[in-house]
Amino acid sequence: MENHNENDNYRNEIYSKSVRAGKRTYFFDVKSTRGGDHYLTLTESKKKFDQEGNFHFEKHKIFLYKEDFEKFSDGLNDVLSKIAELNEGSVIEENQSPSETNSSDSSIENIEFEDLD
């Protein structure tokens, strides 16, 4: 009998990168199919509180398969270029410092999916 847990662990441990961005954390996880093809899962996680003050994590996940990598990359690069073009010459709001307008957070913490439950 095949040990599925060992195979599942292998598929889940190819590569993972987490990026904290304000109140959200983004996870980029490279996984492998049984056939050895790689795919990417993109997960957005946001901490939410209920009325009693208890929290849970709201997660949204996208699966991106190898046959779509190039088109996805082209589309993402296109819209990011357009945003940069649209933002050229835009004025920073008076109550924001230039560092607050930068949406990327240079500090990356080691966060595991188990921490999100």
Q: Where are the chain's structural domains? A: 4-91+100-116
Cα separation of 45 and 107, whole Å?
17
- Evaluate whether 78 touches 84 at the Cβ level (below 8 Å): no
Q: What global pTM score does this model have?
A: 0.60
Please, which pLDDT band fits residue 50 given cuts at 50, 70 and 90?
A: confident
DSSP state of 93: P
| Topology adopted by domain 4-91+100-116 | Nuclear Transport Factor 2; Chain: A, (3.10.450)
pLDDT given at position 47: 87
Query: Per-residue pLDDT for 70 more than 80?
Result: yes
Chain CA centroid to CA 115, Å: 15
Average pLDDT of the chain is 78
Question: Which residue shows structure tokens 């598929």?
Answer: 11
